[in-house]
Amino acid sequence: MMPVASLQFIRELPKVELHLHLETSLRLRRLAERRRGASDPARHPPGWPALSPPSHIADPARFTGYDRLRRLRYLSRAGSIADEWYTSENIEQITYELLEEAQRQHIRYVEVRVGGRRGFALLGAPRMLDAMAHARAQAEARLGVHCGFIMTIVRERGPEEAEQRVREAIAGRGGGVVGVDLAGDEQNYPPALFARPLGLARDAGLGITIHAGEFAGPAGVWTAVAHLGARRIGHGIRAVEDPELLTRLRDRAVTLELCPTSNLHLGLCPSIEALPLRRLLDAGVPVTVNSDDPLLLHTDLSRELHAVATAFSLDGAEVTSLVNNAARAAFAPVPAVP
């Protein structure tokens, strides 16, 4: 048997990541604390709350089901951040810093999701996306890191706002927008509600990825693939419950964006070893591994790949295959490794 891929091997391996959130609020808050010299809680200005470690902001064990998802993913990202920190300059800086982190991990291409309503409300989508596009251009020139942006549509905000986000994404293609993502409460806001806006995105040539098969069962994955044209599924681990669905995913080359630590923290599996990774691979389903919310979950892509390599005894060739799956499923061409 080949040895399990080491963390050093994985860190040095040129990589591609497809499921990574910008985490605008949390990144802005850290930026604010750095500029205010407030990393030490004793030095916080009056009224400025201390930034606890993300695991202390929201304890996953206190919540269940979708409430756990909502609190962990959304409420704890922001903490308290004043409106004045939502500037084009700050958005550009936190985007560039995210791409610097990617470069340190030898990530060659990354797709970054953005969907914070507050940022779009305060800046407007054109300014927000333009700031991110400036960071993208700088990162490509200085760091050799390439990226695309995915506009996130949140189900709870309804199909009207979804259509607005899609039209903004279409307008932002020249600045690096490559796709749209439908996320949020899949149990109470089924994908079919968003057929029109996602159809607009598909007709415009944008890639479509949909959070499904995470808290709800395989039915949402079926709808996402058969009716909404999803080329990728965010998470999708519950697809394993339906063998016929696995065949459809394999035959249509629909890629699953697995996020192991995220699933663990959200209570969707008791351990990394309990993820259905091996069953998905054995069924021929294209699988990728991603970090999802690295600041919130204290992880990164290298650690995620090493965690599954350890749990499932994956050697270097198998880990490289996971990375190659991501390269093939990217919504824009991935540059060749020199």
Residue 304 has pLDDT above 50, yes or no: yes
Higher pLDDT, 163 or 85: 163
pLDDT of 307 reads 97
Do residues 184 and 152 touch, judged by C-beta distance below 8 A?
no
In a domain, 129, yes or no: yes
In a domain, 266, yes or no: yes
* SS (HEC) of 298-334: CCCHHHHHHHHHHHHCCEHHHHHHHHHHHHHHCCCCC
In a domain, 196, yes or no: yes
Phi/psi for 274 (5° steps) reads -85, -10
160 belongs to the catalytic site: no
For the record, the structure tokens of 267 come out as 């209570």
For the record, the structure tokens of 335 come out as 């540059």
Identify the band that residue 66 occupies on the pLDDT scale cut at 50, 70 and 90: very low
Residue 174 has pLDDT above 90, yes or no: yes
Q: What is the CATH number of the domain that holds 12?
A: 3.20.20.140
pLDDT of 106 reads 96
Identify the band that residue 337 occupies on the pLDDT scale cut at 50, 70 and 90: low
pLDDT of 73 reads 54
Higher pLDDT, 261 or 61: 261
In a domain, 20, yes or no: yes
Higher pLDDT, 321 or 123: 321
Do residues 206 and 173 touch, judged by C-beta distance below 8 A?
yes
144: alpha, beta or left? (left if phi > 0; alpha if psi -120 to 50)? left
pLDDT of 122 reads 85
pLDDT of 138 reads 97
Higher pLDDT, 122 or 25: 122
- Domains contained in the chain, number: 1
In a domain, 86, yes or no: yes
pLDDT of 4 reads 94
What percent of the chain lies above the pLDDT cut of 90? 63
CA dist., res. 34 & res. 330, Å (int): 34
**Residue 26 parent element (H or E):** helix 24-36
pLDDT of 76 reads 46
Residue 284 has pLDDT above 60, yes or no: yes
Residue 62 has pLDDT above 70, yes or no: no
To 10 degrees, what angle do helices 243-251 and 218-226 make? 30
Of residues 17, 168, 186, 214, which has the active-site annotation? 214
In a domain, 57, yes or no: no
Higher pLDDT, 187 or 326: 326
Q: What residues make up the domain containing 288?
A: 7-49+69-329
